């Protein structure tokens, strides 16, 4: 017996829940990726590809099917597929990245999610929105605003998701690239954060402070299983002590480009 999380509600389904994740292979031009808050460092692209394969393997080990979005080799940041869309229930909202150069990444992402049967909507001018600015838990959708995502983008997303039962909450973000560079949520809704990344953590009903910035990023695999970056060993230990089954993956080459574990996939939890 599976459960489908559509329209923000959980419905029992006859089938086994399909866990599918969109991923996109790193471009050979990865080292040219955009930087906002970090100094540029040399990037070992072949090692990045190995890390990307390891990331996919952890998803596979936990029952996820990864679906490769058509390559975008001319897009250095194409591997950060999370930014191209926001999926809620049976709707995929195609983003309008705040960085103009990343808009070339959208066509392949749109083809892939349409082929999976999702209804499509899109953010349009003057709105901008990156998927990395959108954190969902239950029917609450927190959206980072002030960096790559502007107020018009938040408003458009709210207009699209409210009819599906979502409550959209804007969160000012300026110290880090995206909202999910600062916070992600545990299965129980507790929001992980490291001091100094967001001004006002009280916007979240429940928070858990973590000992390192990278510890704020987790991917929910299923049940109590989490994926975290190898650069957050103290947080991995903290979460293990709280009863979570934590898998670590080294994504050092992506972190050099302000990427994190959530950026490398779009997780689709549907039937």
Ligand X SMILES: NC(=O)NCCC[C@H](N)C(=O)O
Residue positions forming the annotated binding site for substrate = 35, 77, 82-83, 102, 148, 257
Among the residue ranges 61-69, 135-143, 174-182, 184-192, the one whose residues contact ligand X (CB under 6 A): 174-182
Whole-angstrom distance, CA of residue 81 vs CA of residue 210? 26
* C-alpha 180: how far from chain center: 7
CA of 249: how far to CAs of 34, 111, 241, in Å?
Answer: 23, 29, 19
Strand 225-229 versus strand 218-222 pairing type: antiparallel
Other C-beta atoms within 10 Å of 71: how many? 15
Residues marked active site are found at 178, 263
Position among 99, 104, 116, 158 found at the interface with ligand X (CB under 6 A): 99
User: Could you say whether residue 45 binds ligand X (CB under 6 A)?
Assistant: no
Q: Which residue's Cβ lies closest to ligand X?
A: 132
DSSP assignments along 53-113, one per residue: HHHHHHHHHTTPEEEEPPP-TT-TTTT-GGGGEEEETTEEEE-B-SSGGGGGGHHHHHHHH
Q: Output 214 or 258, the one with its CB closest to ligand X.
A: 258
Whole-angstrom distance, CA of residue 171 vs CA of residue 143? 6
- As annotated, the binding site includes 35, 77, 82-83, 102, 148, 257
The residues pairing with 268 across neighbouring beta strands, listed in sequence order, are 20
Q: Is 128 helix (H, G, I), strand (E, B) or coil?
A: coil
Q: Output 6 or 107, the one with its CB closest to ligand X.
A: 107
Q: Output 4 or 226, the one with its CB closest to ligand X.
A: 226
Least Å distance, CB 242 to ligand X, is 25
- For the segment 14-33, give every residue that binds ligand X (CB under 6 A): 33
CA-based end-to-end distance of the chain: 11
Interface map 178-197 toward ligand X (x if CB under 6 A)? x-xx----------------
Position among 24, 27, 30, 77 found at the interface with ligand X (CB under 6 A): 77
- For the segment 138-167, give every residue that binds ligand X (CB under 6 A): none
Residues forming the site for ligand X (CB under 6 A): 33-34, 36, 77, 80, 82-83, 99, 102, 132, 177-178, 180-181, 257-260, 263
């Amino acid at each position: 017996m599976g459960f489908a999380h559509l329209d923000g509600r959980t419905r029992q389904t006859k089938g086994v829940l399909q866990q599918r994740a969109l991923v996109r292979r790193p471009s050979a031009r990865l080292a040219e990726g955009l930087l906002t808050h970090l100094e540029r460092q040399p990037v070992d692209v072949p090692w990045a590809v190995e890390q990307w394969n390891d990331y996919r393997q952890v998803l596979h080990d936990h029952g996820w099917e990864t679906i490769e979005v058509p390559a975008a080799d001319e897009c250095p940041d194409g591997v950060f597929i999370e930014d191209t869309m926001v999926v809620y229930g049976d709707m995929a909202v195609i983003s309008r990245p705040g960085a103009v150069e990343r808009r070339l990444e959208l066509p392949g992402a749109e083809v892939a999610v349409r082929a999976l049967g999702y209804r499509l909507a899109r953010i349009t001018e003057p709105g901008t929105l990156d998927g990395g600015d959108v954190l969902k838990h239950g029917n609450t959708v927190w959206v980072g605003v002030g960096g790559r995502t502007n107020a018009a983008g938040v408003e458009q997303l709210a207009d699209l998701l409210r009819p599906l039962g979502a409550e959209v909450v804007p969160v000012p973000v300026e110290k880090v690239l995206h909202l999910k560079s600062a916070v992600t949520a545990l299965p129980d809704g507790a929001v992980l954060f490291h001091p100094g990344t967001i001004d006002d953590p009280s916007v979240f009903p429940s928070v858990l402070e973590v000992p390192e910035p990278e510890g704020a990023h987790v991917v929910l695999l299923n049940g109590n299983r989490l994926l975290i970056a190898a650069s957050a060993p103290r947080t991995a230990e903290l979460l293990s002590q709280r009863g979570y089954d934590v898998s670590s993956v080294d994504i050092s080459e992506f972190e050099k480009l302000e990427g994190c574990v959530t950026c490398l996939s779009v997780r689709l939890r549907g039937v």
